[in-house]
Structure 1
């Protein structure tokens, strides 16, 4: 690839993260262009586009993995990889990857049909959290405190036309601190605690972020979790119980970092991402 060819930021829209990434690319004197993933059309077998590398920031999990798959087939360096995205964007696959790597995860029970969902929740115990297998920003989560609530949730899920929505993913509710660790290129670079008046503590839903020191245990958990799912630019969510025990909840491969950046205003997160991209380019 020629240095004159652009680095492409594929994004559904330009949010805070995409704007600062474009600015960081400009600081490296790299030619950069934005491509809306919804406009991409390509013929199987055509030559690759003149792209030097791709930062894949598509919002849709389905489009996101197809963009990385296309880039990899075309020989274009892309972050994150299709394998990492496919693992992280499916909560069952992500939990398996973490558990198989020996990482502590919340007690999780899967049922392959909504009719068996109540039994899955019963095996976890109350309160439990029922999650969609595919989803982000805390959408579709339900905290169930008794069998009646579980029956109501899975009765609704059972009426969905989507086979994926009929899958039951039930997890123990861990009371305590919610910590997001940003991992770039296998290295934990910063952490923030997310707090909210609601038990769902996503910054996309208004949660506040405050800095958390990167102690050795937190670094170890985050970096092992990154390796377990294939590495890249990742947000590792760690829950710390009131007793101080930590579990890895999930790894986000379409990571937003505006909340973490607000907690660490002096940390050049976008520059760290671009530095990693340059390392990938060699």
Structure 2
């Protein structure tokens, strides 16, 4: 077996290459060779004769691809060539746009904060027609959350406390996809991350912040190992299935009754922090899953 690992080569943080290297090392320990590619070295080309990938040393197709990026068209191109991609392009797209993600979770009637999608506006304008949206936002109550549809690591997420704050934030972001969301105040600065591989929760940690409503480690949060209940595991797996992910991180908040509420499903969940927190190497679990999938197909691809 030989696979590729794709990451975004233009993102400056070393965590993206680190993710790829963790997977490569875990694969090698299982006897699987993996080549790491930044996405800009894999160019999708099309003609009347079909589709292909152009890049250094890409003449031989891999048995599978671990896709640690959000370059959806590249993932779709690989799939169109018959190469299994984890996660699928469809799942990457659903996780990448938070509006799509919440639609899919709501479609399966899974517990999420009450959410209102902002209208698509396209352009930056002073002539905003958001009276109805603002009225609905007020009904959610303050403080409330405003999220840009595209964002990671707790960024592009805003907590607003008044109608004036809400209007000011909408004036600044309205030309980008966004949504309004109920704030789960009982979970202020606290959430649980559950890493799902296939249909199993393989690692979990509690994240908390003493200074921020977001618990993300990237924004200064702390972490400790967490033992989820069977109900929490089941909810995380159902969330993963609703989105269509093979590998993901499911973040849970907790309401005033202590009941879990799905905050987000992250299709490109980083695995270094949870490794350091729990000692569990999620990359190894991912490779075991890939090998099982390969075995089911009789070794002829995955």
> Where in structure 1 are there 5+ consecutive unaligned residues?
none
- Pairing 1:254-269 to 2, within 5 Å after superposition: 254-265=268-279, 267-269=280-282
Is the CA contact (8 Å cut-off) linking 1:129 and 1:173 kept in structure 2? yes
Is the CA contact (8 Å cut-off) linking 2:44 and 2:77 kept in structure 1? no
Shift of 1:210: 0.9
Match of 1:79 in 2: 86
Tell me: CA distance 1:271–1:46, structure 2 relative to 1, closer, same or farther (3 Å): same
| 1:9 matched to 2:5 | yes
Normalised TM-score (structure 1): 0.89
Match of 2:112 in 1: 105
Match of 1:186 among 193, 199, 207: 199
> Where in structure 2 are there 5+ consecutive unaligned residues?
10-15, 54-58, 122-127, 296-302
Tell me: CA distance 1:84–1:141, structure 2 relative to 1, closer, same or farther (3 Å): same
| 1:138 matched to 2:145 | no
How many correspondences in the alignment? Answer: 267
| 1:250 matched to 2:239 | no
Shift of 1:198: 1.0
Give the root-mean-square deviation of aligned CA atoms.
Answer: 1.8
Structure 1, residues 118-142: CA drift from partner, whole Å, max 9, x if none? 2342131111000001111122211
Match of 2:95 in 1: 88
- Pairing 1:1-282 to 2, within 5 Å after superposition: 3=1, 6-13=2-9, 15-44=17-46, 45-46=50-51, 49=59, 50-58=61-69, 61=70, 63=71, 65-112=72-119, 113=121, 115-116=129-130, 117-158=133-174, 160=175, 165=176, 167-175=177-185, 176=187, 177-196=190-209, 197-265=211-279, 267-282=280-295
Shift of 1:46: 4.5
Helix, strand or coil at the partner of 2:181: strand
- Please give the alpha-carbon distance, in whole angstroms, between the structure 2 residues aligned to 1:115 and 1:188: 44
- Please give the alpha-carbon distance, in whole angstroms, between the structure 1 residues aligned to 2:34 and 2:21: 12
